[in-house]
Each structure stands twice: as structure tokens, then as C-alpha cells.
């Protein structure tokens, strides 16, 4: 790591960077994170041992506690699952008939389609992310948006959106999948937060979280409840008389064991790291790339670790790929993501691939 950036990174963040051995040229954390050394070790060790439900449960519960720290909420507010769309579907199923849902335009479909197809007269209205707070109205029941937009990397004004929703008696659902891991997350601002950990948090796919306020949780039906949602999961394995957990665990689904074994060390490392320093590091790299390639951000834009630009024909993405750079294309745009394992050499490598 260049000295200019290392000097802004506390020791915990430096230790986090040391967990990655192959990050050069990988600018696609917004698509999928790189596995850590400790994640690989945990999964490999499990493959040569007998299955142990106690070990798996301990990993899942530790992951819940680390996720709570990363999302800025209490652990009893956090439910574990496997996909954000399932968690959004849980909330969609619990909306009143005829409810109005306001979504950001061009939002990631996993948090939109569950409401579009909810039936029961539920309607979905959209507005540009920059206008979302102003678009909340007296008929709005739920405002749905990502803190960082997947396709373009724009960082939402979450506080303004949450304030507008509260002023109109609406709730908020914020997806932080593209935020948690590179920037601090203030989950207490929102009524519900969803996060899949396989991107910036570098966990195996199949580890997701729902953080929900106690008041909102009272209105949600645990339609996915299984044995792991029980007050005592080991006493909830048979029949329909199980007593569900009183907190957000009532919305748990049975964890994907090996995925959570791999996730636990990754989530611990990110929870222990200094997130403001990671945000400073990643956004500085993104800004350096923008300057090198003459792609200035909008004057009002909040710093983002994601850089994207129009690339309808995929020419720039092809140039990056040909140069051995892992990048992505979304919604007619090329997209680069700068993470803790990237440095100024990656900025130079990507810029040169584009002829800059």
C-alpha cells in the first residue's frame, strides 16, 4: 500500500488488508468480494472434519453480532438469512393491502420486485434517488432504496430520506449491500436494513442480514419461520407448537452452515477495522481514478468507492478486461470498485487500460 494511504489506516485496517493476497487488478468488489485468507482456512478445515452443528451455530451467532456492529444496531435487532430478496419479500408480505411503496428509480431489482409482485393492491411508485426525499407523500407507507446505488455508485442522502419518511408517517427499508464494508453505516436511521455480505464484506454468498426496529417488527409476520426461528431452536424442530423468539431472531432462516463458517472471520475483521479509514482509502483511490481519466463527479455527489460511466457498447469494459482487470458492466455503464485490497497501482493499471 502506498505510504500516503497507509498513514491514514489504523492497525486494524492494516491487518484487514493483510487478509487479502491477490487483490491487484481486482476492481469488482461491487460484484463479489475476494475471499480472505482466514475465510479460506475456515472452510477448508471444515471439509476435513465431521459436521458439528454446535460449531456451525456458534459461527452463525458470532456473525450476527459482527453484523450488528457493522450495521450500527443492537444484535437483538438482527435476523440472519441468505438473500436480500427473501427479506424484502418478508416485508412485502406484511404490508397492508393497498399500500404504496416508493422506490428509487433504477434500483437493484432484489429490493423492488418483491413489492411489485406482492399483489393485494400494493403499488410501487419510483422517483430519482436525488428527489426521493421530496417524493415521499402522505400516502406512502414504505420508502425503499439502497444507501449506495449498485449500477452507478451514487451515495444516497440516507438521513434526509429517513427524515422525510418520518415526517409523513412512512417507514424506510435501506439496502446497504453496496455500502457495508467500505463506509460507516448508521442503521438506526432506518426502520429496516438489509445486507448481503458477499460483496464488500467479502463473505461467501448465502450470508445476509435484516436489521429491523422493534416497532416495525411487531407488524411483520414470520412467514419463513423454521426451527432456527424458535426461542429455543433445539426445542423447535418438530410440530407447529414452537414458541418463536421474541426479538428479530423470529425472522431467522436456518443458516447455510459452511457459508457462515467462512463469513464469521470476514465479518469479524471488518467489524474490528476502522471503517472511516477504509472509506478514506477507497474514496481517495476512486477520486484519483476520476481525476486521471477526467471523469469528475457531480459537484453535489458524496464520495463513493464506486466509479461508473456510460459504456453502452461495452468498449471500455472490454479494454479493462483485456488488460487483466476485473471490472463490471451494469445498466449500460462500466463500473469499477476500489476496496481495501486495492492501491494506487490499480488506479494506474485501470487508467492505462483506457488509454489515460
Q: What is the enclosing helix (H) or strand (E) of 116?
A: helix 113-116
Question: In the prediction, which pLDDT does 235 show?
Answer: 87
Q: Looking at the predicted structure, is the pLDDT value of residue 32 above 70?
A: yes
pLDDT digits (tens, 9 = 90+) for 222-268: 999 999 999 999 989 999 889 999 999 999 999 999 999 999 999 99
Supply the pLDDT for residue 120: 94
Give tens-digit pLDDT for 183-236: 999 999 999 999 999 999 999 999 999 999 999 999 999 999 999 999 999 989
What is the band of 356 on the pLDDT scale with cuts at 50, 70, 90?
A: confident
Q: What is the pLDDT of residue 8?
A: 42
With beta carbons less than 8 A apart as the criterion, state whether 75 and 290 touch.
Answer: no
Strand partners, 174: 145, 193
Q: Any residues with CB less than 8 A from the CB of 299 and at least 6 apart, and which?
A: none
> Model confidence at 11, in pLDDT bands (50, 70, 90)?
low
Distant-in-sequence, close-in-space partners of 350: CB < 8 Å, separation ≥ 6: 27, 289, 320, 323, 325, 327, 336
Answering whether pTM is above 0.85, one says yes
pLDDT at 12 exceeding the cut of 80:
no
CA distances from 69 to 79, 103, 139, 273 (A): 13, 27, 34, 11
Give the domains, in start order, of the chain with CATH numbers. 3-32+273-353 (3.90.1150.10), 53-271 (3.40.640.10)
CA distances from 170 to 133, 163, 179, 191 (A): 11, 10, 23, 9
Least confident of 3-12, 75-84, 104-113, 315-324: 3-12
What 3-state DSSP class applies to 196? strand
pLDDT digits (tens, 9 = 90+) for 262-310: 999 999 999 999 999 999 999 999 999 999 998 888 777 899 999 999 9
Which phi-psi region, left, alpha or beta, contains residue 324 (left: φ > 0; alpha: ψ -120 to 50)?
left
Contacts 24+ apart (CB under 8 A), 244-250: 247/76, 247/77, 247/214, 247/217, 248/76, 248/77, 248/78, 248/79, 248/210, 248/211, 248/212, 248/217, 249/76, 249/79, 250/79, 250/217, 250/222, 250/225
CB 38 within 8 A of CB 266: yes
Which pLDDT value is given to residue 144?
98
Average the pLDDT over 301-323 and give the result. 94
pLDDT number for residue 301: 85
Whether the per-residue pLDDT at 172 is higher than 90: the answer is yes
pLDDT given for residue 15 in this prediction: 84
Other beta carbons within 10 angstroms of residue 178's beta carbon come to 28
Residues 299, 303, 304, 305, CA torsion sign? positive
DSSP letter, residue 130: G
The DSSP secondary-structure symbol of 273 reads S
The percentage of the chain sitting over the pLDDT mark of 70, rounded to a whole number, equals 97
Q: Is the pLDDT of residue 7 over 50?
A: no
Amino acid at each position: 500500500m502506498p505510504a500516503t494511504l497507509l498513514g491514514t489506516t489504523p492497525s486494524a485496517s492494516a491487518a484487514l488488508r493483510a487478509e487479502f493476497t491477490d487483490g491487484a487488478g481486482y476492481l469488482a468488489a461491487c460484484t463479489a468480494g475476494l475471499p480472505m485468507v482466514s475465510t479460506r482456512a475456515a472452510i477448508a478445515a471444515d471439509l476435513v472434519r465431521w459436521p458439528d452443528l454446535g460449531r456451525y451455530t456458534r459461527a452463525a451467532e458470532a456473525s450476527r453480532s459482527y453484523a450488528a456492529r457493522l450495521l450500527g444496531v443492537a444484535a437483538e435487532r438482527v435476523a440472519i438469512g441468505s438473500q436480500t430478496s427473501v427479506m424484502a419479500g418478508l416485508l412485502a408480505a406484511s404490508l397492508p393491502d393497498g399500500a404504496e411503496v416508493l422506490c428509487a428509480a433504477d434500483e437493484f431489482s432484489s429490493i423492488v420486485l418483491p413489492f411489485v409482485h406482492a399483489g393485494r393492491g400494493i403499488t410501487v411508485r419510483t422517483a430519482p434517488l436525488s428527489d426521493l426525499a421530496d417524493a415521499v407523500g402522505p400516502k406512502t407507507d414504505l420508502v425503499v432504496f439502497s444507501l449506495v446505488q449498485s449500477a452507478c455508485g451514487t451515495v444516497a442522502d440516507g438521513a434526509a430520506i429517513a427524515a422525510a419518511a418520518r415526517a409523513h408517517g412512512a417507514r424506510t427499508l435501506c439496502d446497504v449491500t453496496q455500502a457495508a464494508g467500505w463506509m460507516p453505516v448508521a442503521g438506526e436511521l432506518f426502520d429496516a436494513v438489509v445486507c448481503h455480505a458477499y460483496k464488500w464484506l467479502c463473505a461467501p454468498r448465502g450470508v445476509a442480514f435484516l436489521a429491523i426496529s422493534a416497532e416495525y417488527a411487531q407488524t411483520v409476520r414470520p412467514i419463513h419461520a423454521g426451527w432456527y426461528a424458535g426461542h429455543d431452536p433445539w426445542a423447535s424442530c418438530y410440530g407447529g407448537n414452537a414458541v418463536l423468539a421474541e426479538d428479530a431472531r423470529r425472522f431467522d432462516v436456518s443458516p447455510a452452515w459452511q457459508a457462515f463458517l467462512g463469513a464469521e472471520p470476514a465479518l469479524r475483521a471488518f467489524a474490528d477495522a476502522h471503517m472511516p479509514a477504509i472509506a478514506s482509502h477507497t474514496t481517495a483511490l476512486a477520486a484519483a481514478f476520476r481525476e486521471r481519466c477526467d471523469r469528475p463527479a457531480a459537484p453535489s455527489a458524496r464520495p463513493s468507492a464506486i466509479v461508473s460511466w456510460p459504456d453502452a457498447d461495452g468498449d471500455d469494459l472490454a479494454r479493462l478486461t483485456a488488460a487483466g482487470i476485473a471490472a463490471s458492466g451494469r445498466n449500460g455503464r462500466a463500473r469499477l470498485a476500489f476496496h481495501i485490497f486495492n492501491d494506487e497501482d490499480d488506479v494506474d493499471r485501470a487508467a492505462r487500460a483506457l488509454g489515460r
